Chain A
Amino acid sequence: MQRLLALIAALAAGSAQAGIIFTPHLSEYSKLPHGQYSELMFVHTTIEDVYDRTGKRIHLGAPYVPKGESVEANIALMKFLWIGNVFRDSGIPVLSDHAQFCRVIGGLGWQQSSQKVYERGRLFGLTGGGNGLTDVFGLCGIYTDDYRFGPLTANGLLAGTVKFPVGRFDREALLNTGTNYWSTIPQVALHAELWGRLILDATASYQFNGDNDQPAYGGTTPTRIADWRTQEVNLAFKWSEHWFTDVGFSHRDSVGPNRFDQVTVSYKDPIPAQTACDNTNNGLGVPIIDPSLCNSSNRFYVTPDAGPYADRGIYGDALTAGVYYVYRTSSVLNLRVFYPLAGRGSQIDVDFEVCSDTVPGRPPCTASSPNYVSSLPDVLLNGVQEAAATSASPYIEARLVYLFWAP
């Protein structure tokens, strides 16, 4: 049984990337035989809905793009796990008689937005998608003793994860495979089995997030990212040596708000007056200029106040359900659905100034500018990417766990 479970396990802290949350799987925290393990995981999601700051489910990009638009994210992750005891003969208390583990997770991502989304981004000189390397997660930890109470067996683990921001990060992109900030994640976890049939994995972690001094998509990704708390539980049942199913629950919430200090989103080119009047919802969700100026031959541009702004913090609750097929002792196929139950996303109220394009060099627009026209206070902008947006759309995981170097 232990060898079988070794195949399925995939230690990972509860973390997120590109709107995709990594949640524990069957026997995620079980004490495995010493050796090296590998895993390949594909995640696909099409995000059509997100949560706003009140917890209401809204369509992606509302109110600036029509309903039905989406972003598609695909991530392929490779995971390597080592379990052993490098302190076995050292005599160091605790370490010498408790196995340790280390894990590295990295991968590739492909993310693309639908046509209306990227066409909108183009107005601001921004792009819709992002492909390339993901950030790299490295974690190490130690297992506790085994505990046995009749038919119940259990073990725990303590781990620490570091997210290295080496993934591709494009400041102009709505979606990125990298995050551009460091994270450190201490974690405790529990694994328990009842009669070897009912398998419980649970974890709690706290993610310390560093700052992102180069936010993306016009500064609508936060510069000071709130820390996160994560609690997750997964309950699995073994139907046979080959077949398992599981259900899980995940809760993640930020500790305080995200803060935005470098909002720069603005039209790439000044827009004609009539365009601004004809499509006042095209840029900022509010009329850009007064209707009396619609016949003006001038063009207009806007400049946001850079900040700071703060959202109301984010959270997300989700349900997972999956099925596992174990082939011999070297391969596992796993299909899982992640379904969001509730959440809160990031939105901020940004102040803009409107100026006419009548001054050479188009200097930043302020209330004291000679070409100043008006102010647009409290324009609602959506926070984007993994630290701010909370997806309300489900996603699918497909995993292949394969023992290249079976213990």
Chain B
Amino acid sequence: MHRGWRVAWGLLACAHGAHAQELPPQAGRYMPMYPGLYLETGFSKDDRDRSFDAGGHSRPSAAPQTAGGKTGFPEDAAIAAFTWHFPMFESQWPAVLSNRTYLARMTLRYADTRTEGPLAAFIADAADDARSEADDLKNSGAGVGDVTLEFGGFLAGSRNWRTRQRSPFALLLLAGVNLPTGVYERDGPVSVGSNTSWFQGKLGLHWQPWDGGYLDAGAAVRDYVDTHEAMFGGLAPFRQGSDVIYDVGYTQRLARDLYLGWTFGFRYGESNLYRNPQYAPNAPPHPDANTDTYPTPGDYRDRGTELKTRTLSLSYFITQRWLAGLHYAHPQAGNSGQFLLPFSTRSPTGCTPGAAGCTIGTGQTVLVDGLGPARAYSTQRITLTVTHNFGLGDAFSCSGC
């Protein structure tokens, strides 16, 4: 096998590592590969018991506004990404379309996550179930995750795929969509699936400045669809703000089959919208026995989210077709979504606002943690990946053509 192509398939990869349940960024991720099917699998563990607050400070809890100690959302995730590189449109189509290669990718996930600490105690506490919406809450979830589909073409760098002569430069345009098929626990603070579709456009640049060195840089914009049943009583966003995502990485061959890479990932999320939250773990106390409080219905916004991550990757070719990688991701900086939630009082307790005899008043306002995608965790994440090359060849057989 041509050494360059061998390295290329081995170092193929996926998106950025800013989110959990995503494979870590690897070198060569924007490099055209010889047509064929590639599979990359990964297993990651993340304690997720620290998070950045809205001011950018790393706090020793995943939900710092919940008093009583350290809340954690530990997650184990298994990810499998099938990637096909292929030419299209044969020779009779316009050369601008037929002389380059394309990429299609499907990413599958399975994860197990749960809630620990004081937020788990709030979930288990049934004392307020009779007169609030915070009843029948769930602690954990396990099951299949979302499915991500991507499709794109190499704008530059793949014209000579038939001769296997690689260009030192490549440019990839990639479109992606998330299918929120993952198991979604509406009554829990964490969930395996997102219940939210997103659409993404991405531009990736690859450059091989010298033999054994690979530089990759990408930029993406991601827009989210509304989720009508935001989890944990609406403390997760109803409408997640658009993300702008950048990644820059360099990988150098250290020895014959050993590669070391560094990647910097940046994700900037616009303000998230929360609609009609139903309760909060840090709700203000009831003023008296005949009066209780409830979140004032309305739309609320945080100030957006951000996460900057450094990832160190060590990759080794076990055989020509098998590549193992170990990735250590360290969150450098970030901020989570938090918002001010005003509470109203009602008397008698549990009465329906607007009904005769139900007196409404103004209560306290509390700062609450946005959950789900609004959290930016400041915990280290380790991912083990194994990549397999199923074989090279024309993905579209044409016997008799």
On A, residues with C-beta under 8 Å from B are: 3, 42, 74, 76, 108-110, 112-115, 118, 122, 125, 127-129, 131-133, 168, 268-269, 271-272, 274-275, 278, 294-295, 297, 299, 327-331, 403, 406
Contact = CB atoms under 8 A, between A and B. Distances in A.
Interface size class on chain B is: 35 or more
A108 B181 CA distance: 6
Given A76-B179, A118-B228, A331 B396 contact: yes
B395 interface: yes
B127 interface: no
A272 B358 contact: yes
Interface of B: 88, 90, 130-131, 133, 135-136, 143-144, 147, 179-184, 186-187, 193, 195, 227-229, 350-352, 354-358, 395-401
A168 B133 CA distance: 25
Provide the main secondary structure of the chain B interface.
loop
Given A125-B135, A295-B356, A328-B397, 13 more contacts: A3-B399, A3-B400, A74-B179, A76-B147, A108-B144, A108-B181, A122-B133, A129-B229, A132-B144, A274-B356, A278-B355, A328-B398, A330-B397
Most buried by A among B181, B399, B401: B181
Most buried by B among A132, A295, A403: A132
A113 B229 contact: yes
Contact of A132 (B130, B182, B350, B399): B182
B268 to A, nearest CB: 27
A118 B229 contact: yes
A331 B398 CA distance: 10
A132 B143 contact: yes
Nearest to A112: B228
A116 to B, nearest CB: 9
A112 B195 contact: yes
Give the 9 A-B residue pairs with the shortest CB-CB distance, closest first: A108-B181, A274-B355, A275-B352, A274-B356, A328-B398, A132-B183, A328-B396, A275-B355, A110-B181
A406 B356 CA distance: 71
B195 A131 contact: yes
A78 to B, nearest CB: 10
Nearest to B351: A272
A271 B184 CA distance: 29
Contacts of B133: 122
B351 to A, nearest CB: 6
Contacts of A127: 186-187, 229
11 contacts: A3-B400, A76-B179, A108-B147, A113-B229, A128-B229, A129-B186, A131-B182, A168-B183, A269-B130, A275-B355, A328-B396
B400 A329 contact: yes
A108 B144 CA distance: 9
B136 A125 contact: yes
B222 to A, nearest CB: 18
Contacts of A271: 352
Given A129-B195, A275-B352, A112 B179 contact: no
Contacts of B187: 127
Contacts of B136: 125
Nearest to B353: A275
B136 to A, nearest CB: 6
Contacts of B397: 328-330, 403, 406
Contacts of A406: 397
Given A113-B229, A133-B143, A328 B186 contact: no
A129 B185 CA distance: 10
Given A168-B143, A330-B395, A112 B229 contact: yes
Contacts of A3: 399-400
A316 to B, nearest CB: 25
A125 B355 CA distance: 21
Nearest to B183: A132
B181 A114 contact: no
A115 B229 CA distance: 7
Nearest to B132: A269
Contacts of B184: 129, 131
A297 B180 contact: no
Contacts of A131: 180-184, 193, 195
A178 to B, nearest CB: 11
Contacts of A42: 179
B281 to A, nearest CB: 19
Nearest to A134: B181
B352 A272 contact: yes
A114 B182 CA distance: 18
B135 A268 contact: yes
